[in-house]
């Protein structure tokens, strides 16, 4: 796979057509039974920002993401995108690829196109997006023959096909091996730079958060306990000293050292 | 070689059978020689009797299967999709299931006489449950995560049904289909043997009255061949429809 990193400002038409959405959360609370998972979250994410959310397992990261993606409704509080409620402009990439096993790779990507266009146009659009994730030649295959990393790339292509203005990822790389993870991180960073959507990534891997995000949120006891800007130049290299320092600060917070 | 090996034993049995009959070890009134069964087959084929009866039996089987399978599929889908429908109908259906459908033969003859309706009714009744139960199970076990994905991508209920629920339930539906095909032949054999004026079962019972053992044996073989044919078609369909599933993929 070749990954070319484009300048953030490159290709102006593209950035206009799929510009990111600004997100605004006010007093967002979520409860399951007697358990309060999110306790009044206030959060502003500017358009096009890349946000990473980290936190201990079970602290409510997925819950928060599902609310932002509009899959669930909060107990109380409001979530607005550019002043409106979340709609088709948001896509959530799940922990699992969730491809339809009975649909070819191309048809799976077409799910992201909705009902737009005729057959030939849809097929062409699907192959085009698959090319962006380096899988243009796999459109005719069954998902079952792909590797875990390739399946996640197809899921990414499906999400991209719908031109999301906000793309949320729930530990999308959790099940991948180390090298595939790094490849996927580069790919996600690249499509984000190409398309200019707002990105929110949940991860339990702090170094991944530092490698990808402009801003890292630590979720703890139902609130944002730490909000940290990552001001490192892109493309980022793994093992960079400044990155390691930020990583250390977050780990200290998580492990209460 | 590997292709031939499985056929060696049946061939040996056939030769043994032929030899025993030729040397008079088995009386022809008990079991006629394979050659005589073959001769009977030739006779029945030439006179057209075979095709007429096969046609009648196949028609009964398929019509009964279509009716029973169709209703079973509809209820399986309905109850799989709607809790309320399941609460209303499932217990009743499960209760009826406990009555062996063949036990209804005397009642069915009282209701419908011995004409076509009786046999088609019995086949439909027998086929209903395997299709119902497996369709229900298939719809129930469709991956929730895929449904959630479909909804998140804005699929309509119709699209969810066609693109996620039905394909997801298909492997289980095929299990029901193949099981139902077995029950279909079994029911038909019993029903035709007990009361019929046409069909393969009638051909066998009629031959029995005239002590034509070769025709009786041939009729049994025809049932076996038709059952095998139905299963082969179902398997082929399964392989085509479930090609996405590595379990069914060829090679
Ligand atoms: N649908 C639900 N019903 C009940 N409890 C839930 C549900 N979803 C999440 N939870 C609970 O909320 C807490 C946070 O879950 P989650 O957001 O998945 O955590 P994370 O993604 O940070 O690991 C957990 O304790 C989990 O058991
Ligand atoms: Mg989670």
Helix H or strand E segment including A181: helix A178-195
Query: Which one is predicted more confidently, A254 or B131?
Result: B131
Contact A96 B145 (CB under 8 A): yes
The minimum CA-CA distance between A170 and chain B, rounded to whole Å, is 13
The protein residue with its alpha carbon nearest to ligand 1, atom 20, reads A58
- Residue B178's Cβ-count burial label (10 Å; 0-12, 13-18, 19+) is middle
Compute the distance from residue A17 Cα to the ligand 1 centre, in Å.
35
Q: Which ligand minimizes its atom distance to the CA of A66?
A: 1
CA A160 to each of CA A121, A133, A191, B225: distance values in angstroms, whole numbers, following the listed order = 16, 10, 9, 53
Chain A contact set for B155 (CB, 8 A): 111
The minimum CA-CA distance between A7 and chain B, rounded to whole Å, is 30
Residue ranges per structural domain of chain B: 38-249
pLDDT at A83: 59
Closest CA to A79 of A147, A13, A22, A150: A22
pLDDT at A239: 75
CA distance B136 to B94: 12
Closest CA to A43 of A29, A57, A62: A29
pLDDT band at A223 (very low <50, low <70, confident <90, very high): very high
The minimum CA-CA distance between A113 and chain B, rounded to whole Å, is 9
pLDDT at A3: 41
The protein residue with its alpha carbon nearest to ligand 1, atom 23, reads A58
CA distance A11 to A79: 31
Q: Does ligand 1 come within 6 angstroms of the Cβ of A206? A: no
Name which of B149, B155, B167 is nearest A94 (Cβ-Cβ): B149
Closest B-chain CA to A98: B146
- Of the listed ranges A13-22, B82-91, B138-147, B161-170, the least confidently predicted one is A13-22
Helix H or strand E segment including B42: helix B34-47
Residue A15 in this model has a pLDDT that exceeds 80: no
Compute the distance from residue B163 Cα to the ligand 2 centre, in Å.
27
CATH hierarchy code of domain B38-249: 1.10.3720.10
pTM comes to: 0.85
pLDDT at A85: 58
DSSP A71-109: SS--SEEEEEETTB---TTEEEE-SS----TTS-HHHHH
pLDDT at B155: 92
ipTM for the complex shown: 0.84
The residue written with tokens 């082969």 in the block is B232
Whether residue A235 is preceded by a cis peptide bond, meaning omega within 30 degrees of 0, is yes
pLDDT at A110: 96
CA distance A150 to B128: 42
Query: Which one is predicted more confidently, B216 or B3?
Result: B216
pLDDT at A39: 94
| For range B212-241, the mean pLDDT | 93
Residue B146 in this model has a pLDDT that exceeds 70: yes
pLDDT at B250: 59
Q: Relative to the CA of A72, which ligand 1 atom is closest?
A: 1
Is residue A139 within 8 Å of residue A106, measured between CB atoms? yes
Beta bridge partners of A241: none
The residue written with tokens 């299931």 in the block is B97
Residue A13 in this model has a pLDDT that exceeds 50: no
**Buried-exposed string A103-137: b where 16+ CB fall within 10 A, e elsewhere:** bbbbbbbbbbbeeeeeeeebbebbbebbebbbbee
Q: Which residues contact A124 (CB under 8 A, 6 or more apart)?
A: none
- What is the percent of chain B where pLDDT is above 70? 98
Helices (H), B82-199: 83-97, 105-112, 116-140, 144-152, 157-160, 166-194
CA distance B188 to B226: 12
């Amino acid at each position: 796979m070749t990954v070319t990193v484009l300048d953030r400002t490159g290709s102006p038409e593209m950035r206009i057509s799929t510009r990111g959405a600004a997100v605004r959360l006010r007093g967002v609370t979520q409860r399951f039974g007697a358990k309060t998972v999110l306790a009044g979250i206030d959060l502003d994410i500017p358009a096009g920002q890349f946000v990473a959310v980290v936190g201990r397992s079970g602290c409510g990261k997925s819950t928060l993401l599902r609310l932002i993606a509009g899959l669930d409704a909060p107990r109380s509080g409001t979530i607005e995108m550019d002043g409106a409620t979340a709609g088709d402009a948001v896509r959530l990439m799940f922990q699992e690829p969730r491809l339809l096993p009975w649909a070819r790779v191309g048809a799976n990507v077409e799910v992201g196109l909705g009902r737009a266009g005729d057959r030939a146009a849809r097929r062409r659009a699907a192959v085009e997006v698959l090319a962006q994730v380096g899988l243009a030649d796999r459109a005719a295959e069954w998902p079952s023959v792909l590797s875990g990393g390739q399946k996640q790339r197809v899921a990414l292509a499906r999400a991209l096909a719908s031109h999301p203005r906000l793309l949320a990822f729930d530990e999308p790389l959790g099940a991948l091996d180390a090298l595939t993870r790094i490849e996927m991180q580069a790919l996600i960073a690249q499509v984000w730079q190409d398309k200019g959507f707002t990105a929110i990534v949940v991860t339990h891997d702090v170094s991944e958060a530092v490698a990808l995000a402009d801003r890292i949120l630590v979720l703890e006891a139902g609130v944002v306990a730490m909000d940290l800007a990552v001001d490192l130049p892109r493309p980022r290299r793994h093992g960079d000293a400044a990155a390691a320092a930020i990583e250390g600060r977050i780990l200290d917070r998580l492990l209460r050292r | 070689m590997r292709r031939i090996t499985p056929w060696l034993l049946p061939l040996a049995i056939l030769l043994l059978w032929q030899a025993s009959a030729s040397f008079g070890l088995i009386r022809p009134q008990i079991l006629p020689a394979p050659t005589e069964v073959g001769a009977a087959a030739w006779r029945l084929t030439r006179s057209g009797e075979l095709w007429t009866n096969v046609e009648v039996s196949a028609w009964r089987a398929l019509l009964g299967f279509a009716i029973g399978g169709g209703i079973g599929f509809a209820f399986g889908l309905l109850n799989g999709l709607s809790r309320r429908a399941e609460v209303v109908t499932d217990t009743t259906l499960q209760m009826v299931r406990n009555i062996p459908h063949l036990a209804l033969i005397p009642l069915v003859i009282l209701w419908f006489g011995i004409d076509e309706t009786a046999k088609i009714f019995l086949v439909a009744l027998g086929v209903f449950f395997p299709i119902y139960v497996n369709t229900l199970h298939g719809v129930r076990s469709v991956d929730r995560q895929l449904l959630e994905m479909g909804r998140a991508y804005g699929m309509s209920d119709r699209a969810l049904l066609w693109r996620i629920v039905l394909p997801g339930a298909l492997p289980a539906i095929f299990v029901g289909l193949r099981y139902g095909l077995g029950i279909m032949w079994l029911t038909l054999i019993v029903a035709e043997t007990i009361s019929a004026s046409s069909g393969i079962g009638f051909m066998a019972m009629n031959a029995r009255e005239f002590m034509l053992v070769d025709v009786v044996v041939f009729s049994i073989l025809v049932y076996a061949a038709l059952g095998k044919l139905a299963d082969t078609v179902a398997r082929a369909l399964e392989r085509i429809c479930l090609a996405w599933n590595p379990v069914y993929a060829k090679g």
